[in-house]
Amino acid sequence: MGDHITIGAASPRIQYLASGTDTVFTYPFPIFRPSDIAVYLGEERLYEGFSVTGAGRSGGGTVVFDMPPPAGTVVTLRRLLTLGRVTDFQENGELRAAVLNDELDVQAAALQQVAEEAARALRFAPFDTAPEPVLPSRAARANRLIGFDSAGVLSLYPATGGGEVSGTFLQAGAGAVPRPVTEKLAETLSVRDFGAAGDGLTDDRAALEAAFAAAATGGRIVLIPEGDFLVSGPVALPAAAAGLVMRGRILYAGSSPAAVLTLGSGGPGAVQGRLWQGIRVVRTVPSDWSSEDDIGVLLRTPSDCSIEIAEASGFTIGVQVLAESAAATGTTLTLGRIANNRIGLDLRSGDSAGALSTLRVVGGRFVVAASVNPSLERFGVRVSAPPGANRAPSGLVFDSPFFALGAGSAAGIPFLVETDGRSLVARDIRLSGPGSIVARHTGSAEDHLYDVAAATVPGPLAVEYGVGAGRAGAAVVSRQAAIPSLALSRPVATIANLRASAFRWSATQTGFDQLACIDGTAAAPATLAAAARPGLDGYTLGPRGVTLGPGRGLGFVVRTGACRNFALALDGDPVRLVVFCFDASGALLTDAAGVLVRLSTGAITYDAARGWWVSAAELNEATGTALPAIWLSPLVATALIGVVRGAANAELRGLRLTADPRHAPSLLFGLPGLPHGKRELVAETSWDPPALVPNASAVQTVTVPGAAIGDHVTVGFGVASADVLFFGTVFAADTVAVMAWNRSAFTIDLPSGTLRLRVIKT
């Protein structure tokens, strides 16, 4: 051990509070070898990750950590010797002072260690007259509590007395005060306190009801511990109870449809700020889905509550949030396994005052086996309201739900929206199994967004609009293998300045770049060419825009292809949106083919006299309806999408048509059969001018459909000549006269060549 060390009066234990940066910690007591020191971080003893210096020195040494202990961690350094003698003095041997001192040093260090440990044990003060704390025999202390009588003498007390636990409880920590043990134990009520067996065989309904009633009386939280608690009928936790925490589950063995577990019953209005956690309710015999009274968990008007449903399985409705007489708002609902229910989660307004708003649903694994009632449709989430109830839920948010609805011969649809509310957002939806329908709308809901993160369906996903759907108020964004495309919008056409795009089509008519003119006074057109007019009268060009006169409109002609969804944006006065629909041959499609067009911002109806679908309300920025989304039936091959004058003359300044960025629908204009939207007309023909004597000329007429008197004409000829000049002019509708003039002093006979014309409308 080297030179003799001195065992001073220093405590063989020291503690530090780590700063998060220091690695070196000093111990002020001597040790004989590095292994004699025990190192703790918090409650954990370390055996590596540090080194020890200073062994054999009287003043102690240091413990150096490889990495700084985390800030706020208690670092304990303690001398810990192995108590036992491993040396001996030899008979008649030399007894040196150094050897004897070392032995005495070890004994002194061992005594300090024992004294330090004894100081941390329960002890009586030296002046205390109490007898030694010797425990009675095991039989004598069975089912008894250890305590002290009025004289401070150790005594045994009954574990129960008068139905209550004796003694007090003192919580660890500064500022804690003694409390009766009875009060401490009564903070949470366990259903086992009321006789619940939890064995999955005994009917525990009465025990649960008794525990729920006691919790309501005292404003307590009820605990359902581990186990299967069988009930033969429904049970209800009153609104006055502080909450319910479940670690086990409730098994429903009844035969009648019922709300098995009702949370928040009996309250006059919203149930505020409750904690319902770990709820698990399972039907022992799966429902046949014939009655909507068959509900696993019924949550009555929860407001600002924290709710966790771990499982609800085998019912017609797994979980129902019912808002009655007040608003259910501000609640977060966390869902686990919602299995084999016809409707997994039902968000329902029960009456006119029962509003649903700002509810957040987190997670949810909505699964239905294909073998469960295979002929019946099933839904993950339903938003519903009976006649006369509030039909305007708003601010419903779903985060990361998963749907595997395993439909047999019937549809399995993740969302069924039967109301007229706004702003339902479902984010990061996961879909597994067949079916491309993400949601079915049967009301006039709007601003609903379904964001699909992953799906096993390879084709496009959609919203289905059922009978009673008043508007196409939803959009599906599928991020399945489409993130790069969705990062960009897909513009079909943009007319940033309608006034600048206007040109004179004829002496009395105006045309527009890329746009078809629409005549709202004409009868229904039979073909696309008849509907898309290249020019009309009735447009007034102002300083910054174009005013639509009575019956006048403008629109884009687009080939829809696989693209079903478009959006139209405008800068201008209120107008009505119109859509003409045509098949692949360009023939007009009527409502005899069914509903061909739906609109996100309101109703749209078919006008047989005009052959168009027209919005019921005007597009108006002031009312938030100026940016409509348009859905087209798969029957539509080509559409003319535009606007027409509404109740009053309307000035338009800009128009923009966009589409799903995964598609690139083509804009049709300036084609031989669709001349609209192009201010430049071209034509060419062969011509063999006659021999021209000096200063003579020859004239050739060329038909250019759309050419009008006053248009600018440029002429080119396919044979080069510096002395024969060519001029053109429109002298009649659709007819251009071309003159060849010989300006030289000699006769020129040009060979046959190609005459090329460009008619420009201004």
Query: What confidence tens digit (pLDDT) does each residue in 708-759 have?
Result: 999 999 999 999 999 999 999 999 999 999 999 999 999 999 999 999 999 9
Average pLDDT over residues 348-356: 95
DSSP 593: G
Rounded to 5 degrees, φ, ψ at 18 are: -65, 140
Distance CA 220, CA 211 (A): 10
The pTM score is 0.64
Tell me the two tokens of residue 581. Answer: 């629909």
Distance CA 129, CA 254 (A): 66
Q: What is the pLDDT of residue 436?
A: 87
Sign of the torsion formed by the C-alpha atoms of 36, 41, 47 and 48: negative
Cα 475 vs. chain centroid, distance in angstroms?
Answer: 14
> How do the domains of the chain map onto residue ranges?
13-119, 189-233+240-248, 255-432, 490-659, 680-760
Quote the percentage of the chain above a pLDDT of 90. 70
Quote the percentage of the chain above a pLDDT of 70. 89
Tell me the two tokens of residue 526. Answer: 């039979």
Residues 6+ positions from 234 with CB-CB distance below 8 Å: 254, 258, 259, 260, 261, 262
Q: Determine the longest span between alpha carbons in the chain, in angstroms.
A: 156
Distance CA 619, CA 598 (A): 15
Nearest 5°: the CA angle 5, 7, 12 is: 125
**What SS3 string covers 480-506?**
CCCHHHHCCCEEEEEECCHHHHEEECC
Sign of the torsion formed by the C-alpha atoms of 672, 673, 677 and 681: positive
Residues 6+ positions from 618 with CB-CB distance below 8 Å: 574, 575, 576, 625, 646, 647
Tell me the two tokens of residue 119. Answer: 């100081």
Average pLDDT over residues 681-705: 95
Distance CA 333, CA 399 (A): 10
With cut-offs at 50, 70 and 90, classify the pLDDT of residue 395: very high
Of 77-86, 107-116, 277-286, give the range with the top mean pLDDT: 277-286
SS3 content of the chain, % helix, strand, coil (to 5): 10, 45, 45
Tell me the pLDDT tens digit for each residue of 155-171: 777 665 444 555 677 77
- Mean pLDDT for the chain? 89
- Token pair 């964004």: residue: 477
Residue 350 pLDDT > 80: yes
Task: Answer whether 318's CB lies under 8 Å from 356's CB.
Answer: no
**What SS3 string covers 172-232?**
CCCCCCCEEHHHHHCCEEEHHHHCCCCEEEEECHHHHHHHHHHHHHHCCEEEECCCEEEEC
Nearest 5°: the CA angle 535, 649, 549 is: 25
Q: What is the pLDDT of residue 162?
A: 44
CATH superfamily of 680-760: Deoxyuridine triphosphatase (dUTPase) (2.70.40.10)
Distance CA 707, CA 716 (A): 17
Helix (H, G, I), strand (E, B) or coil at 29: coil
Tell me the two tokens of residue 514. Answer: 């890329």
Residues 6+ positions from 368 with CB-CB distance below 8 Å: 339, 340, 341, 378, 404, 405, 406, 407, 412
317 closest CA partner among 368, 363, 271, 243:
368
DSSP 533: B
Looking from the CA of 101 toward its CB, the CA atoms found within 13 Å total 10
- Token pair 């495309």: residue: 485
Task: Answer whether 359's CB lies under 8 Å from 423's CB.
Answer: no
Pairing of strands 328-329, 680-687: unpaired
Q: What is the pLDDT of residue 101?
A: 65
Q: What is the pLDDT of residue 1?
A: 44
Q: What is the pLDDT of residue 180?
A: 76
**What SS3 string covers 658-713?**
EECCCCCCCECCCCCCCCCCCCEEEEEEEECCCCECCCCEEEEEEECCCCCCCCEE
Residue 113 pLDDT > 70: no
Tell me the two tokens of residue 552. Answer: 């006048």
Q: Which amino acid is at 596?
A: L
Nearest 5°: the CA angle 184, 190, 191 is: 155
Tell me the two tokens of residue 443. Answer: 């009301």
With cut-offs at 50, 70 and 90, classify the pLDDT of residue 84: low
DSSP codes of every residue in 583-632? -TTSBBP-GGG---EEESSS-EEEETTTTEEEESS-B-GGGT-SS-EEEE
For 245, 247, 299, the CA distances from 277, given in Å and listed in that order, are 5, 9, 12
Residue 601 pLDDT > 90: no
Q: What is the pLDDT of residue 178?
A: 80
- Token pair 């540090």: residue: 50
Distance CA 544, CA 499 (A): 6
361 closest CA partner among 402, 389, 399:
399
Q: Which amino acid is at 8?
A: G
Distance CA 61, CA 651 (A): 90
Residue 149 pLDDT > 90: no
